[in-house]
Amino acid sequence: MQTRTGTIFAVALFASAGTVVQAGMLLDSFSTTQQISIGPGGVNPATASSSVGTGGTSVGGARTLELTRDTGGTVVATRVNIDAGILGFGTEPGVGGGLMAIYDGDLDPALNPTGLGGVDFTESGDNASVRVTYRYDLALEFFVTVYTDAGNASRASFVFGGTAGFNGPFNVALLPFASFTPILGAGADFTNIGAMTFSASTTSPTLGADFQLDTIDLTREVPTPGALALIGLAGVVVAGRRRR
């Protein structure tokens, strides 16, 4: 009876303790520079793309960017600039277009859905979310898609929110693995990822939108240090009661 009371006490302590989000695998720190642009004028739709080797700064060691312009664009270039650890997407007022980034382990601009060779995004079960840190001016929807192979893929999205503007701290979005929904077959297996993409596009009423990305990575939730101390204390209480 005393042991049972101690166990209940321990569970209550655990439930009242907090968790913190901890970084897991890096997906892209945007520390490998890359620029693409579509110059002013010309015919829509217009496209530009490039691929770069990123070493250890992004998953799979390579990044492909595809930029499109569907509306407007007569004054300044529509552009993506990755420099100093930040990706910047910029469109002039009235321009509609989009960005797609592909991580599939190679420099071929085509998506290879098994190119990453089966990366375990859970890192043996600990990771639970994709984290995106961003700034923005207009509320675009941001999509993350993961592939296991050509027949199985899943997608999640969020709409830019929080503090708008480019001078303050970056906003943080967490996309839990459980929130991804199948778009091909049975969906992706997060223990066996063959490719990842992210994308966002501007259409009315978000023509002319700009955004920045600081980091995309994987995260896990772990008990706070205070929670660990409480769990340890609860264990002592349970042990003490058992000894009596």
Q: Using an 8 Å Cβ cutoff, are 142 and 132 in contact?
A: yes
Identified binder of Ca ion from the candidate list 106, 189, 214, 217, rule CB under 5 A: 106
Omega cis (within 30) before 223: no
> Shortest distance, CB of residue 238 to Ca ion, whole angstroms?
54
Show the binding pattern over residues 141-160: x = contacts Ca ion (CB under 5 A), - = does not. --------------------
H-type alpha helices, 126-183:
none
CB of 110 to Ca ion, least distance (A): 5
In this complex, which beta carbon is closest to Ca ion, that of residue 1 or of residue 110?
110
Taking residue 107's Cβ as centre, other Cβ atoms within 10 Å add up to 13
Q: What share of the chain is helix, strand, coil (3-state, %, to 5)?
A: 20, 45, 35
Q: How far is the CB of 184 from Ca ion (least distance, A)?
A: 17
Q: Quick one: 83 or 108, whose CB is closer to Ca ion?
A: 108
CB 210 within 8 A of CB 89: yes
> In this chain, which stretch among 102-110, 157-165, 221-229, 234-242 interacts with Ca ion, using CB under 5 A?
102-110
User: Considering only residues 110-129, where is the footprint of Ca ion by CB under 5 A?
Assistant: 112
The CB density around residue 102, as the number of other CB atoms within 10 Å, is 26
Q: Which stretch binds Ca ion (CB under 5 A): 23-31, 103-111, 164-172, 196-204?
A: 103-111
By CB under 5 A, which span of 18-26, 73-81, 101-109, 218-226 interacts with Ca ion? 101-109
66 belongs to the binding site for Ca ion (CB under 5 A): no
Tokens of 112: 């290879």
Is it true that the peptide bond before 205 is cis, omega within 30 degrees of 0? yes
CB of 103 to Ca ion, least distance (A): 9
Which tokens hold the place of 146?
A: 């993961």
With CB under 5 A as the contact rule, the residue among 39, 45, 108, 228 that binds Ca ion is: 108
Stretch that binds Ca ion, among 18-26, 40-48, 99-107, 147-155 (CB under 5 A): 99-107
Q: How far apart are CA 176 and CA 7, in angstroms?
A: 31
List 28, 66, 70, 104, residue binding Ca ion (CB under 5 A): 104
Exposure b/e, 181-206, CB count within 10 A at least 16 = b = eeebeebbbbebbbbbbbbbbbeeeb
- Which residues are near Ca ion by CB under 5 A? 104, 106, 108, 112
